[in-house]
Amino acid sequence: MNPEYQEETIAAISTPPGAGGIGIIRISGEQALSLLKAVFQPKKPSCPFTSHKFYYGHIRNPDQGKILDEVLAVYMAAPHTYTREDVVEVHCHGSFIVLQNVLELILASGATLALPGEFTKRAFLNGRIDLTQAEAVIDVLSAKTRKGVDLAQEQLSGALYRKIDPIRQSLVQMRAVIEVAIDFPDEDLEIIDHSALILQLEKEVIEPLKKLLQNADLGRLYREGISLVIAGLPNVGKSSLLNTILQEERALVTAVPGTTRDSIEEIVDIKGMPVRIIDTAGIREDAGEVEELGIRRARELINKADLILFLIDGSRELTDGDRTLYAQVSHKPLLPVINKIDLCEQLVPDLSSLPGIGECIEISAREQRGIERLRQAIFDTVISGNQQWEEGGCAPNVRHKQALIAAVEACDRVMLSLQGGLTNDLIAVDLQGCLDYLAEIVGETTTEDVLDVIFEQFCLGK
């Protein structure tokens, strides 16, 4: 247990703001139970406060004798707790005012207000979880899709650690062989089989590290998602398409061009990937002043988007406006979509004048035809080139990815050293460098500054 945290007992509200049936205040530290006894009046005066058992009673201000709330309280003795310290939870009614009053009473009794993520930071520092699991808590809390939750839960269960540990063990074994050769230089040729070490390095270290790196990019997509902008001329059906994808009347739809004068954003789950889909103002040249502001905003969003749905009205021929807009957006990843096919069963606009247009998706937003094919096309376009993703694979984040890249580079240097017959001292240094980078991922050698940045991302009370 890290002695730095044994002096302070922390407390915070652990449930989100707003009204609800139940709100929870969490306390962690050596004084957790004594703080509970100071403010909690159990129904039975001879309350034994057995660990991991709920007790009914009231929170009472000991100075004023005023009851603040009717509650359930539970004391959990170390080390069998979230932080591996003594922990108390007070389950109050879910009014923010009630929770705030109870928390202020606990703080006045001697607790310190917890910093964002401090409970989880203590769990990490006290050895209950490694750093990858601590970061997975953030991902669980912020996940936008069920797939995102599943990936975060895998990492929370230690999936990334379990993938890294065999790599580290192989590196340790190689380092041991090299160290023996350094200690007994006269026996070098007999001790070291360079071809075997090269094969071990390639198969047991470099290949799994590169697979983790590949999964890192896909993990980011499932965790963070993409921004997708629906772009097109006025009245091509952008708002109708947004409503159809969302399955709700989110955007106003009329036959009057220029109805949408500002962007409308919603997050939709497309095969487990969170997609921030944005309906923009129709772009045209002869717009009024207010509509022009929406068009300017649309152009800004297009430039920032990860993917553009270039929407075309299939009930008419291609216009100069379509061609002009296509020229303005074709520098971005783009998926062409022809809408209103219910109005042109036999006629599809000729798009040959649009250079590099690619295959179009034909839909009817009004009749909800072709929408599932469009969702699949969006997913395939984003995931294209990443077919090596493994179901059940972990999802390293940006910090992990940087360490993995450095580890692979160190391994490449080891490979060159082994192939080139360089000294064992240099090989040992690069092997240790790779081990150090992997240790950073799980938190064994992570600096305090990095830890602060990680845990500052948490909400209060977690």
**Nearest of 89, 98, 134 to residue 116 by alpha carbon:** 134
Rounded to 5°, angle at Cα 46 from 44 and 51: 95
CATH 1.20.120.430 placement within the chain: 142-222+397-442
CATH 3.40.50.300 placement within the chain: 227-383
Calpha distance 176→198 (Å, rounded): 15
**Nearest of 231, 246, 356, 371 to residue 305 by alpha carbon:** 231
pLDDT attached to residue 294: 62
Q: Mean pLDDT across the stretch 43-50?
A: 89
Size of the chain in residues: 462
What Å distances lie between residue 195 and 189, 392, 415, 419, 425, CA to CA? 12, 33, 10, 8, 18
Q: Which two tokens stand for residue 110?
A: 């001697």
Q: Mean pLDDT across the stretch 288-314?
A: 75
Q: Is the pLDDT of residue 28 over 90?
A: yes
C-beta of residue 214 within 8 angstroms of C-beta of residue 139: no
pLDDT attached to residue 336: 92
pLDDT attached to residue 190: 54
Q: Which two tokens stand for residue 259?
A: 């109805």
C-beta of residue 341 within 8 angstroms of C-beta of residue 370: yes
Most confident of 92-101, 193-202, 326-335: 92-101
Kindly state which CATH superfamily the domain 3-129 is placed in. Probable tRNA modification gtpase trme; domain 1 (3.30.1360.120)
Q: Mean pLDDT across the stretch 289-304?
A: 69
Q: Which two tokens stand for residue 238?
A: 């952008």
Q: Which helix (H) or strand (E) holds 174?
A: helix 159-183
Q: Which helix (H) or strand (E) holds 301?
A: helix 289-304
C-beta of residue 169 within 8 angstroms of C-beta of residue 405: no
The CATH number for 142-222+397-442, chosen from 3.40.50.620, 3.40.50.740, 3.40.50.300, 1.20.120.430, is 1.20.120.430
Higher pLDDT, residue 244 or 287: 244
pLDDT attached to residue 422: 72
pLDDT attached to residue 107: 95
Calpha distance 272→223 (Å, rounded): 9
Calpha distance 252→258 (Å, rounded): 11
pLDDT attached to residue 207: 92
Largest CA distance in the chain: 88
Q: Mean pLDDT across the stretch 309-331?
A: 87
Calpha distance 276→239 (Å, rounded): 15
Per-residue pLDDT of 369-388, as tens digits, reads: 899 999 999 988 888 755 55
Calpha distance 280→373 (Å, rounded): 22
Encoded amino acid at 22, one letter: I
pLDDT attached to residue 423: 77
Q: Is the pLDDT of residue 447 over 70?
A: no
Q: Is the pLDDT of residue 228 over 80?
A: yes
CATH 3.30.1360.120 placement within the chain: 3-129
- Give helix 398-420 / helix 194-201 axis angle, nearest 10°: 160
Q: Is the pLDDT of residue 260 over 60?
A: no
pLDDT attached to residue 372: 92
Q: What is this structure's pTM?
A: 0.73
Q: Which helix (H) or strand (E) holds 71?
A: strand 67-76
C-beta of residue 425 within 8 angstroms of C-beta of residue 178: no
Per-residue pLDDT of 146-175, as tens digits, reads: 888 888 888 888 888 888 999 999 998 888
Per-residue pLDDT of 109-144, as tens digits, reads: 999 999 988 999 999 999 998 888 888 888 888 888
pLDDT attached to residue 285: 54
**pLDDT tier at 64, thresholds 50, 70, 90:** confident
Q: Which helix (H) or strand (E) holds 44?
A: none
Return the CATH fold of 227-383.
Rossmann fold (3.40.50)
Q: Is the pLDDT of residue 255 over 80?
A: no
Most confident of 61-75, 131-145, 304-318, 426-440: 61-75
Average pLDDT, the chain: 83
